[in-house]
Amino acid sequence: MRLLVLLCVFLYLVGVIRAAPTTNTTDTTSDIFKAPSFTTRTLWSIISSSVLTLFACVYSAIHPNIPSPKHSGYPHTLWRQLGMMIMALILPELIVTWAMRQWFSAHQTHSFFVLMGGFMLYVDGKPCLTLRPDYILKLIREGCIDVPTLTAKQIHDRSKGNVISKGLVILQVAWFVIQLLTRAIYHLETTQLEMGTLAFAVLNFLTYAAWWNKPLDVQCPHPVYWKLTESMPEDHIEYVCALTVIAADHVSLSVSDRDELARFGILAPFFRPILELLGIPDIPTSRKLQVPTFDGSINLEDSDKNVLKIAALLMAIIFGVIYYMACIFTLFTGQEQFLWFMSASVIIWIPLFYVVALFRLVLLSWLSTPFYILVCSLQAILYITARTVLLVLMFTTLRDISPDAYKAVSWTSLVPHL
């Protein structure tokens, strides 16, 4: 499949070269570089290319875990995808951290399939439990289940994505980055929408690299059937942990877990995925019939955890720096410039504060103090507000852009893109 994609790209480039007009042999190479050929683009082309690239970054690049059998219908799937898209718009570095955490735990297709909840234990013909890697090994050794027989080809057949579909998304994002770099080289103005989309595109490459072998949008787990009649799964594995399962597969937290999350007040839903992803103790990360989106139940080495924390903070800083660069490569004044500058500064300095605190080990000593909870809550509100302001300004600034923004280097249109 990879050779097929390369062959298609090669044939396209051959056609472009053959169709390109010949140049006068008297022209020098220096003249070509000094006087590039420009064309005109429209406001619609600016918006469409940016929105398509943004859609590829916040939707197509996300590889969700397998949903619960009771939540696999269209309304639940739609709401779950919508929630992840909003999360990717507000906190894209969290999506990359999620992908990196799974990559640390699994590099091959089978490992990803297990981590995303690919094996479901059935007892008496009914779904009972999503099997984690340690559960599968333990139950196989004790003769409770048979070894699941599922080849990599069968797993890929369940996936909604392949090399071609992923390659097209990467090609679109790569073209978007290339044409922005070209505009910077020839000193052409770039819109705020394009600079904001560039920030998402940079993180998108990391997400795709970490999830390249993970199946995309699998809806149904592979069934694994309970063999024993004299015992039940809870006699062999402690899968309830800190959760209390009640009717209709609703899950309620134990008192200690509710207290742990209640300290964050109304911001508990915001902090919960972050704490689960980092595997913080006392935050429940397991579910009975599905793996949570930001699952942190698989133990990592301390070195991997530290790399994960630092990488998440550095990605947030890089994301903010790209927004900050818009003040250099774009022209806008007044209140919008002030709001953009302040919002970009916020999303740079808040993660930078945690980088410094992490290296000085201050973060660990503050983790359980009320002062730390207050600081985190205020910073979270400020951070989300800054991200929202930047998203709004990306589009509102399009109403007044200079004529220079409508110029484009001609050869960038020859690169295949949407």
- The closest of 357, 243, 242, 304 to 106, measured between CA atoms, is 304
* Residue 285 near residue 276, CB atoms below 8 Å: yes
Percent of the chain's residues with pLDDT above 70? 73
Higher pLDDT, 172 or 297: 172
pLDDT for res 267: 64
Q: Select the more confidently predicted residue: 234 or 190.
A: 190
Q: Does the pLDDT of residue 344 top 50, yes or no?
A: yes
CA gap 365, 117 in Å, rounded: 35
Q: What share of the chain is helix, strand, coil (3-state, %, to 5)?
A: 65, 5, 30
Q: What is the mean pLDDT of residues 401-418?
A: 76
Q: What confidence category does residue 287 fall into, taking pLDDT thresholds of 50, 70 and 90?
A: low
Q: What is the dihedral of CA 407, 412, 333, 398, to 10 degrees?
A: 80
pLDDT value for 115:
86
pLDDT of 144 strictly over 50: yes
SS3 112: helix
More confident residue, 88 or 32: 88
Better-predicted residue by pLDDT, 320 or 295: 320
What is the mean pLDDT of the segment spanning 227-237?
Answer: 81
* Residue 35 in this model has a pLDDT that exceeds 60: no
- pLDDT at residue 390 in the model: 92
Where does residue 238 fall: left (phi above 0), alpha (psi -120 to 50 degrees), or beta otherwise?
Answer: beta
In angstroms, the CA 207 to CA 205 distance is 5
Out of 239-248, 255-264, 349-358, 371-380, the most confident range is 349-358
Q: What is the pLDDT of residue 266?
A: 64
pLDDT at 276 over 60: yes
**What is the average pLDDT value for the chain, to the nearest integer?**
76
Contacts of 188 (CB under 8 A, 6+ apart): 404, 405, 407, 408, 409
Count of all residues that appear for the chain in the document = 418
Lowest mean pLDDT among 62-76, 263-277, 290-304, 342-356: 263-277
Amino acid at 159: S
pLDDT of residue 415: 67
What pLDDT sits at residue 368? 55
Q: Does 263 or 227 have the greater pLDDT score?
A: 227
Mean pLDDT, range 403-416, rounded to an integer = 76
41-55, 257-271, 296-310: which has the highest mean pLDDT? 41-55
> 251-253 and 243-245 as β-strands: parallel, antiparallel, unpaired?
antiparallel
> Quick one: pLDDT at residue 298?
73
Q: What is the pLDDT of residue 245?
A: 37
